[in-house]
Amino acid sequence: MIAFFADNHFKARPGHHLHERLRHDHDIVFAEDDLSAMPGLLARDDCSLLMLNWISDTSGNAHPGDEIGRPLRAWLEAGRPLLLLHGASAAFHQWAWWRELVGLRWVRPNDPDGFAPSTHPVRPYTVTVSKTRHPLAAQLVPFSLPKDEIYIELEQTAPVTVLLETRIDEGAFPQAYVADTIHGGRLAGFIPGHAPEAFAVDGLVANVRALVGHLLQ
């Protein structure tokens, strides 16, 4: 079973649209704008992956407290896998332990660590497979989005292997990566995908499927 939590992300609902593309692939328990089921799902023996498309303190969702933080941290400290989608590297940005864990971090305004905020120009763009010998790269495909947010100027908080990237006027920026957490667990980040139209792009969905398969190994 995969536990998948998403916010409505300014009513664009990227988690919902992605779930619609993936729900026949796996047993996925999906919740939007509600983290209350997280402790129970992470405690289940058959929960094999946590997926997040969530940024607290946005879209009407307050930052959670220890009722979510404790079981989430226990899951990660046990070396369990995590997939961060779009801005989910900032999912629980008030917690220092979370900020250090995520590999490439979307930096919110008034960052507790003092970094300048990340930005997201909106325009058409193409995502390509990075030059890397990581075996997962062979399963990934390039794709183009007609117009969407491009998350750039992230903070690197831990060693990562970049698998997908984009080149725009501002420079070259990672769009997917994998890492091992400090607890020995597998972590992956997939950054593209805000507008509903993005999830009609088969290449985008194929790459998420490949990352899910990698994390479930």
Confidence of residue 34 (pLDDT cuts 50, 70, 90): very high
Tell me what pLDDT residue 78 has: 98
CB atoms within 10 A of CB 190: 26
**Whole-prediction pTM value?**
0.98
Confidence of residue 33 (pLDDT cuts 50, 70, 90): very high
- Three-class SS of residue 111? coil
Whole-angstrom distance, CA of residue 24 vs CA of residue 100: 34
- Beta strand ranges found along 38-184 (DSSP E): 49-53, 82-85, 104-105, 122-129, 143-149, 155-156, 161-168, 171-180
Q: How far apart are CA 40 and CA 38, in angstroms?
A: 6
For residue 159, what are the CA distances in angstroms to 44, 67, 105, 162, 181?
30, 29, 12, 10, 9
pLDDT above 70 as % of the chain: 100
Q: DSSP string spanning 35-50? A: -TTHHHHHTSTT--EE
pLDDT tens by residue, 120-177:
999 999 999 999 999 999 999 999 999 999 999 999 999 999 999 999 999 999 999 9
**Closest to 2 in 3D by CA, of 63, 44, 56:** 44
* 5 within 8 A of 38, measured Cβ to Cβ: yes
Q: Look up residue 78 and give its DSSP letter.
A: T
As its CATH architecture, domain 2-216 has 3-Layer(aba) Sandwich (3.40)
Encode pLDDT of 96-106 as tens digits: 999 999 999 99
| Identity of the residue numbered 19 | H
**Cα(109)–Cα(58) distance, integer angstroms:** 12
Q: What is the pLDDT of residues 182-216, one digit of tens each?
A: 999 999 999 999 999 999 999 999 999 999 999 99
Which residues are CB-neighbours of 106 under 8 A, at least 6 positions away? Answer: 55, 87, 89, 90, 118, 151, 154
> Which amino acid type is present at position 2?
I
